[in-house]
Structure 1
Amino acid sequence: MANKPFLPALLLAVTANLAWADHITDPDGFTRPLEHLKFNPGLDQREFERASFDALNVYDPWERWNRRVYHFNYRFDEWVFLPIVRGYRYVTPRPVRNGVSNFFANLGDVPNLVNSLLQLKGRRSMEITCRLLFNTTFGVLGLWDPASRMGLPKHSEDFGQTLGFYGVPEGPYLMLPLLGPSNLRDTAGLVTDYAVEFGVNYLDVAQTSSEHPEITVLKAVDKRHVTNFRYGQTNSPFEYEKIRYVYTESRKLQIAD
């Protein structure tokens, strides 16, 4: 019974302390910063959503066609490409898969070097040249990647970046069958890079591929194997817009690099 008066007194003291602490200001002078935020009363939710959509807007005059190609790629990836990749991973040991990826990556350094030279990137050109030499010789035709262990980073330069480096505009957005997002400039770059790779015919692979299409198929499967993107992974009904925006902005960053 003696403790009963003590409980109301304790509650009263705690309440008083909380009320006093509530008026203690932070170093910035605010006790509840959110209460002092001022919002634009003229910006309603609809305008906010419209502004967000405009931020994702990309020049896409062929959107109807691009969306059809996007849905084709989505279904082809789900029903054909990914099952093949899963089978490839199941029947092929990891060291063999890594060797295949290293081999094709080594071949890809040929157009990387050409485009790096065209963009006047001296240091990068030297690094790519060293990668080609080391991986082709010490890496046994590129099956291993000793250059990365030696501190030579992997670079990615294509003719689309070269055109952008010289100020060629990107043009309309374009969704390519199987290859995915692109634009008019980068599509022309893909054709040019293929012509360079075929013309140089490094290690006689390009010429051999024309006689043995299974090499081209293996290259495509390996490309999908090393690409982490999966259609539908954004879990958004606006995935088309997001892919279009991310691709466009990433290309700007690659060109500026």
Structure 2
Amino acid sequence: MANPFLLATALLVVAGNALAAETAPRASVIEADPQVTQAPLTPEADGFIDPLRELKFNPGLDQREFERSTLEALNVYDPLESVNRRIYHFNYRLDQWVLLPLVSGYQYVTPSFVRTGVSNFFNNLGDVPNLFNSVLQLKAKRSAEITARLMFNTIIGVGGLWDPATSMGLPRQSEDFGQTLGFYGVPEGPYLMLPVLGPSNLRDTTGLVVDYAGEQAVNYLNVAEASENHPEIFALRVVDKRYTTKFRYGQLNSPFEYEKVRYVYTQARKLQIAE
């Protein structure tokens, strides 16, 4: 009877020779074909290999087609686009020549704690329409939180100059009548670019009017009535609003900034309504 170990060894030798005979011609073909052979990538000075340096771009790519497809993805219902673009340009110049210089002067003449107190005060006033719309949207928990914020910030925070509610776990939550209309299924309507105020749509513009009227009717802390006799209060609120708004025209550094702002605003409002 044959030794099993010797038999297995013989089979391995035969298989190895057959495999070598099969692969040897292929290797010679590959080595002989310069189109298949690729030089190994050599490391850069920092020791890393940069595979992108071998990347070849298609010179026949139609850039205009690429831009067109990108803009279609950012499409928003904007039948008044020509007018909206003019208003967008007006807002850009107004921001550059008037509002931002005012903000810079405001920052120069007031210390940071004063600016924080002013922002807290106007945010406290803004919690009144926040509460109103939260109740209309049947958000019981959020309504209770906003009510608690108003009480703590008005009483403990000296009329809202200080914001103890946030440190107590009650952060500010924004609700407006535009969101309320969206909550009940009212469509957004055409996109609008409002003078000074910026991006909006027909539904949200209606919401702005209702929120403003409600704030005037409530006259919380008598600020609405006082603003009629002291327009500087309204002016301070405008400057504070621009001071706390981080957006800057031209910051996207894109010729399609109008389209991008329009798209981002529209999607952001959808997310706010869905909360």
How many angstroms apart in 2 are the aligned matches of 1:219 and 1:46?
A: 44
The residue aligned with 1:211 is 229
* Aligned equivalent of 2:198: 180
- 2:268 paired with 1:250: yes
**Is 1:108 aligned with 2:118?**
no
The alignment status of 1:99 with 2:99, answered yes or no, reads no
Distance 2:193 2:64 in 1: 29
Structure 2 distance, partners of 1:138, 1:95, is 17
The 5 Å alignment of 1:36-75 reads 47-75=65-93
Q: Identity rate of aligned residues, in percent?
A: 74
- State yes or no: 1:191 paired with 2:205: no
Tell me, in whole angstroms, the C-alpha distance in 2 between the residues paired with 1:45 and 1:221.
42
Residue of structure 2 in register with 1:89 after alignment? 107
Quick one: distance in 2 between partners of 1:94 and 1:47?
Answer: 49
User: Which residue of the partner structure matches residue 122 of structure 1?
Assistant: 140
Query: Which residue of structure 2 aligns with residue 238 of structure 1?
Result: 256
| 1:12-27 matches, cutoff 5 A | none
TM-score (norm 1): 0.82
Q: CA RMSD in A?
A: 1.6
Does the residue aligned with 2:84 lie in a helix, a strand or coil?
Answer: helix
What is the distance in 1 between the residues matched to 2:215 and 2:192? 23
User: By how many angstroms is 1:120 displaced?
Assistant: 0.6
Q: Give the direction of change, closer, same or farther, for the CA distance of 1:232–1:44 in structure 2 (3 Å limit).
A: closer
Structure-1 residue corresponding to 2:10: none
**1:20-62 Cα shifts (integer Å, max 9, x gaps):** xx9xxxxxxxxxxx9xxxxxxxx97655433321110110010
- Superposition deviation, residue 75 in structure 1: 0.4
**Residue in structure 1 matched with residue 244 of structure 2 by the alignment:** 226
- Structure 1 Cα separation of the partners of residues 205 and 221 of structure 2: 26
**SS at structure 2 position matched to 1:153:** coil
| Structure 2 residue identity aligned to 1:254 | Q
Query: What is the CA–CA distance in structure 2 between the aligned matches of 1:162 and 1:198, rounded to whole Å?
Result: 19
Give the deviation of 1:65 after TM superposition: 0.6
1 CA distance for matches of 2:218 and 2:198?
Answer: 26
Residue-by-residue CA offset, 1:200-238 (whole Å, 9 max, x unaligned): 000000111111111000000000000000000000011
The SS at the match of 1:181 is strand
Amino acid in structure 2 at the alignment position of 1:253? L
Matches of residues 116-195 of structure 1 in structure 2 within 5 Å?
Answer: 116-195=134-213
Cα distance in 1 for partners of 2:259, 2:148 equals 40
User: Structure 2: which 5+ runs fail to align?
Assistant: 1-36, 41-51, 53-60
From the superposition, tell whether residues 44 and 236 of structure 1 become closer, same or farther in structure 2 (CA, over 3 Å): closer
Partner of 2:119: helix, strand, or coil? Answer: helix
Instruction: Give the whole-Å Cα distance in 1 for the aligned partners of 2:98 and 2:65.
Output: 42
Q: What's the TM-score once normalised by structure 2's chain length? A: 0.77
How many residues get paired? 218
In 2, the alpha carbon distance for the partners of 1:160 and 1:132 equals: 22
